[in-house]
Amino acid sequence: MRRIILLSFVLVAAAAGASQSYWINGPSWPSGSVPVHIELGSSPALIDGCADWSCSASGAVDRWNLFMGRIQLQAVQHSTQTNGELNGRNDMFFAADMYGKAFGQDTLALTTWWFRNDRLVEADIGFNSSKKWDSYRGTTRPGAVYDLRRVALHELGHVLGLGHPNDHGQTVVAMMNGTIGNLDSLTVDDIAGIQELYGALGGDTGGSAGGGSGSVINFPPRNETYEFRGWLESTYANTLGRPAGLSYSDVEGSVVWVQEYLRYRLNACSHEEAVERVRIQIAGGGVPGVCGAAASVIAFPPRNETYGFRLQLEEFYRVDLARAAVKTSVDAEGDVVWIQEYLRYRLTGCTHAQSIDKVRQQIEGRGLPAACR
């Protein structure tokens, strides 16, 4: 009888813990386009606004594509192909069983890999049709309705060649862990894993246009925005007498990433595109280009969207990076409102000092000072 010896396991676990935690299964796809046939059929309108399953699943395809260089998944939406094993096609479908085998009561979805002579030739995803599905973000609703997009994100990670890190004695926050939870997006670990397989999406060096040929809005040096944020902290604490609260994103993080988010928004990116591009940067995946040429008139996004980004940043620092909370007198709303106002003045001809002074007037309730040009 061969029993597993504890000592060797402890050594292996310790070694693994010192390195990255993602788990690469084996052979990956050759460079180029990898088609995925989405054969999920019709659906009622979904919670997140998607019109059908195809939209939800291709949203998951898009997320992975943002982080990969050497290959791109190609979502074949509303495919009418019939799924099957070893047919040379990557199928994504609902089914009562997986090729004649029941899913089992606890399984939401499965991927099957096919290798021939150790070369990956096919990967299929089956969703358990006996479960209730929808498409939504946030806390998962086990026992009720499952979010197809996050499960598709997980299964597509398998299609790309990633395994479950937690099946290999590793503890890490990752979409690729094998048990359902509240994560609804890729984490630093997932992105590091996929970039080891396929490299990062090519990006420019930041601050220049990647997607458009027109003019690009340039932002003030970060040290000045950081200095403004220091002034804001002091004003909230000493002038306004605000007590210190807790934030998971520290001052540096909020200044840098809120400014980056706004840079993308002002250079033709939608809210979601801007959030994803900032996420790539935080994950160390380079600096993706902006989405196009800036509009001739500088138009900042609605504050609720910047605030929404700031809340996501908070969650990212808390969950993905497991950061301890830090004290600050400026709440998340004040953070985004005044950083955005400071930058608005800076981008409309005001100097650093003028911009601080104009924000000060607003905070003191002395109206809304005009821009400098």
Partner 1 sequence: MRSWTGVRRALAAGIVVAVLAGAPQAASVVAPTFEAMLARAQAVFVGETLDVRSRWVSTSSGRAIVTVVTFKVLHTLKGELGGQTQLEFLGGTVGEYRMEVPGIPRFRVGDEDVLFVDERGQPVSPVVGFMHGRFRVLEDPGTGRRSVARHDFEPLARVADIGAATSPARVSSARALTLERFEDEIVRAVRRQREAR
**Closest distance between partner 1 and the C-beta of residue 308, in Å?**
21
Q: Choose between 59 and 359: whose C-beta lies nearer to partner 1.
A: 59
The helix/strand/coil state of 64 is helix
CB atoms within 10 A of CB 53: 27
> Rounded CA gap, 266 and 232, in Å?
23
132 counts as binding partner 1 under rule CB under 8 A: no
Angle at which helix 251-266 crosses helix 332-347, to 10 degrees, equals 50
Which of 175, 268, 275, 336 contacts partner 1 by CB under 8 A? 175
User: CB-side exposure of 131: number of CA atoms within 13 Å?
Assistant: 25
The CA-atom distances, in angstroms, between 89 and each of 97, 123, 124, 222 are 19, 8, 8, 48
Q: CB under 8 A: which stretch of 227-235, 269-277, 314-322, 342-350 binds partner 1? A: 314-322
Q: Choose between 76 and 159: whose C-beta lies nearer to partner 1.
A: 159
Across 169-193, b (16+ Cβ under 10 Å) vs e yields ebebbbbbbeeeeebbbbbbbbbbb
* Residue ranges in 134-153 that form contacts with partner 1 under rule CB under 8 A: 142, 150-151, 153
Q: Choose between 99 and 244: whose C-beta lies nearer to partner 1.
A: 99
Q: CB under 8 A: which stretch of 9-17, 51-59, 211-219, 359-367 binds partner 1? A: 9-17
326 counts as binding partner 1 under rule CB under 8 A: no
**Closest distance between partner 1 and the C-beta of residue 146, in Å?**
9
Which of 233, 314, 320, 341 contacts partner 1 by CB under 8 A? 320
Which residues have a Cβ under 8 Å from the Cβ of 10 and sit 6 or more positions away?
none
* Residue ranges in 83-122 that form contacts with partner 1 under rule CB under 8 A: 83-87, 97-118
Q: CB under 8 A: which stretch of 30-38, 41-49, 71-79, 251-259 binds partner 1? A: 251-259
Q: CB under 8 A: which stretch of 40-48, 167-175, 307-315, 351-359 binds partner 1? A: 167-175
Q: CB under 8 A: which stretch of 10-18, 34-42, 69-77, 330-338 binds partner 1? A: 10-18
Q: CB under 8 A: which stretch of 179-187, 193-201, 303-311, 336-344 binds partner 1? A: 179-187
> Rounded CA gap, 113 and 287, in Å?
33
Q: Choose between 154 and 229: whose C-beta lies nearer to partner 1.
A: 154
Could you say which DSSP state residue 53 is in? H
**Closest distance between partner 1 and the C-beta of residue 298, in Å?**
22
Q: CB under 8 A: which stretch of 6-14, 36-44, 235-243, 344-352 binds partner 1? A: 6-14
**Closest distance between partner 1 and the C-beta of residue 182, in Å?**
7
The helix/strand/coil state of 309 is helix
> Rounded CA gap, 22 and 68, in Å?
15
The helix/strand/coil state of 305 is helix
Could you say which DSSP state residue 264 is in? H
**Closest distance between partner 1 and the C-beta of residue 95, in Å?**
9
* Residue ranges in 226-245 that form contacts with partner 1 under rule CB under 8 A: none
> Rounded CA gap, 22 and 189, in Å?
6
* Residue ranges in 15-54 that form contacts with partner 1 under rule CB under 8 A: 17, 21, 25
* Residue ranges in 48-87 that form contacts with partner 1 under rule CB under 8 A: 82-87
> Rounded CA gap, 114 and 92, in Å?
15
Q: Choose between 251 and 311: whose C-beta lies nearer to partner 1.
A: 251
Which of 284, 295, 327, 364 contacts partner 1 by CB under 8 A? 284
> Rounded CA gap, 203 and 276, in Å?
13
CB atoms within 10 A of CB 107: 14
Residues 86/119, Cβ–Cβ less than 8 Å = no
314 counts as binding partner 1 under rule CB under 8 A: no
Which of 24, 48, 69, 180 contacts partner 1 by CB under 8 A? 180
> Rounded CA gap, 369 and 360, in Å?
10
DSSP structure string for 302-333: PHHHHHHHHHHHHHIIIIIS-PPPEEESS-HH
**Closest distance between partner 1 and the C-beta of residue 290, in Å?**
13
